């Protein structure tokens, strides 16, 4: 069974966080909602979600995939956690799946030197500038073990791309 950590932070974009959890659980993966802060996490649209685990209770290196939702200031909050950045770097180097959507490809990966592949992100000028010549503008971009998406409108496509990369198929 594939193990996936979806990292939740205050200010995350709810649809980008919940959709991968739902799709990957339907596909048979063990998906842990891992909060970088409190057990109850309030998203950018004031929807509160209860995390399965706190970051202090897990070793992110034990997962087959790490998924980073977007949203602001959620992406900034995730980018502030050195243990998350270290785990992302390790996962990318080991060929594990890393997924980032919306602001996170730029704010979490790009601003921290973790992006060396083609990627997409929310098409805001500042985010696109961070990605530079790696920016593709696609809804979803799959480049080796890195899967990125441009925002809420692509949350389902993003989740399905994650499932495909993990070799699992959701039952709809």
Q: What is the pTM of this model?
A: 0.97
- Residue pLDDT, tens place only, 86-141: 999 999 999 999 999 999 999 999 999 999 999 999 999 999 999 999 999 999 99
DSSP 105: I
pLDDT band for position 170 (cuts 50, 70, 90): confident
pLDDT value, residue 143? 97
- Whether residue 44 is preceded by a cis peptide bond, meaning omega within 30 degrees of 0, is no
Considering only residues 24 and 172, tell me which one the structure prediction assigns the higher pLDDT.
24
Q: Mean per-residue pLDDT for 17-27?
A: 97
Q: Mean per-residue pLDDT for 10-30?
A: 98
pLDDT value, residue 10? 98
- Residue pLDDT, tens place only, 37-68: 999 999 999 999 999 999 999 999 999 999 99
DSSP 108: I
Contact yes or no for 120/71 (Cβ under 8 A): no
Q: Burial, 147: exposed, middle or buried (Cβ in 10 Å; 0-12, 13-18, 19+)?
A: buried
Q: Mean per-residue pLDDT for 144-166?
A: 98
């Amino acid at each position: 069974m594939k193990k996936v950590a979806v990292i939740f932070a205050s200010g995350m974009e709810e649809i980008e966080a919940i959709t991968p959890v739902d799709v990957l659980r339907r596909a048979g993966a063990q998906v842990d909602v891992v909060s970088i802060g409190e057990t109850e996490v309030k998203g950018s649209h004031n929807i509160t979600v209860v995390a399965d685990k706190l970051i202090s209770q897990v070793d992110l290196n034990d997962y087959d995939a790490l998924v980073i939702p977007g949203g602001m200031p959620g992406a900034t909050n995730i980018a502030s956690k050195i243990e998350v950045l270290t785990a992302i770097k390790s996962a990318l180097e080991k060929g594990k799946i890393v997924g980032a959507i919306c602001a996170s490809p730029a704010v979490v990966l790009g601003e921290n030197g973790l992006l060396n592949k083609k990627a997409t992100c929310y098409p805001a000028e500042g985010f696109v500038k961070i990605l530079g010549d790696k920016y593709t503008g696609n809804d979803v971009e799959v480049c080796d073990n890195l899967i990125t998406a441009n925002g809420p409108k692509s949350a389902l496509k993003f989740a399905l791309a994650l499932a495909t990369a993990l070799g699992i198929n959701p039952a709809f």
